[in-house]
Amino acid sequence: MSGSPAPGALVLIATPIGNLGDLSSRAAEELATASLICCEDTRRTGRLLAHLGLTGRRLRRVDDHTEAAEVDDVAARIGAGQRVALVSDAGTPGISDPGARLVAGVIAAGHPVTVVPGPVAAVAALVASGAVTDRFVFEGFLPREGRERRRRLAEIATESRTVVLYESPKRIGSMLEALIEVCGGDRRATIAREITKLHEEFVRGSLAELSDWAATPPKGEIVVVIEGAPAMPDATDEVIVAALTTELAGGASRRDATAAVAEMLGVGHRRTYELAIGIPGSVTPPS
């Protein structure tokens, strides 16, 4: 930077998701000049700074547990004209990483927020997958179990846009099985593994083929890109029953569950109600 000093702001800085060569010169410059660097893990960010030849930088841990408590101090520093950098362990802060609450708090306090864009695993996987990129949905990590997981799987089954998900290698096998249950085994998808790293790999195929591939548990970091459902999908009975079961398990009556699922999946009320009748324990309250 040249000329007058940069004004006070929260500066969101994307960092590499594997290859250190992906750190931009603007990111390096902001890290070199920030008054304070907020990061998820001081040791990890310390290693990145050492790679850049930066020592003695002031680091502060800001993670899911501490983020809300840091808002006031960070806002005060920015108000006093300081530039406060925010990085996560890898990629873009706020994307399946801490950051969003700090950003919202700084904006609410009336201070500027700016960004040094760069790597995001989801976008890197999407563009290399070969799937349609003009409209897509980022689902992040699915909940590991429960009603919300079932609801989101049901939504993915009928989503016509490309869907991008994060998953750990430990759970990729069970995630693919769950996706096959709702989307069918023929839906096309890509597993993007270790993007920008030595063992980078893009495995493209049907969900059934990818599930076979994952039978030998893969190592490393993974993004799953699923091609969208046909524009006007016919939800299968299995998908409708799964969605109904989720609604009923949440305490909805048979009538309310039918209305919610028919609306959500764009399917006929009568067909949905008939399937609801077959689900043990579903009841219609007396009118």
Residues that bind ligand SAM (CB under 6 A): 17-18, 88, 90-92, 95-97, 120-122, 166-168, 192-197, 221-223
Residue 127: CB minimum distance to ligand SAM, A = 13
Q: Which is nearer to ligand SAM, 51 or 269 (CB)?
A: 51
Return the HEC string of the chain.
CCCCCCCCEEEEECECCCCHHHCCHHHHHHHHHCCEEEECCHHHHHHHHHHCCCCCCCEEECCCCCHHHHHHHHHHHHHCCCEEEECCCCECCCCCCCCHHHHHHHHHCCCCEEEECCCCHHHHHHHHHCCCCCCEEEEEECCCCHHHHHHHHHHHHHCCCEEEEEECCCCHHHHHHHHHHHHCCCCEEEEEECCCCCCCEEEEEEHHHHHHHCCCCCCCCEEEEECCCCCCCCCCHHHHHHHHHHHHHCCCCHHHHHHHHHHHHCCCHHHHHHHHHCCCCCCCCCC
Residue 255: CB minimum distance to ligand SAM, A = 40
Q: Which is nearer to ligand SAM, 92 or 282 (CB)?
A: 92
Q: Which is nearer to ligand SAM, 26 or 255 (CB)?
A: 26
Q: Which is nearer to ligand SAM, 9 or 17 (CB)?
A: 17
Residue 124: CB minimum distance to ligand SAM, A = 7
Residue 257: CB minimum distance to ligand SAM, A = 33
Q: Which is nearer to ligand SAM, 22 or 155 (CB)?
A: 22
Residue 116: CB minimum distance to ligand SAM, A = 13
Residue 266: CB minimum distance to ligand SAM, A = 30
Q: Which is nearer to ligand SAM, 26 or 171 (CB)?
A: 171
| Residue of minimal Cβ distance to ligand SAM | 91
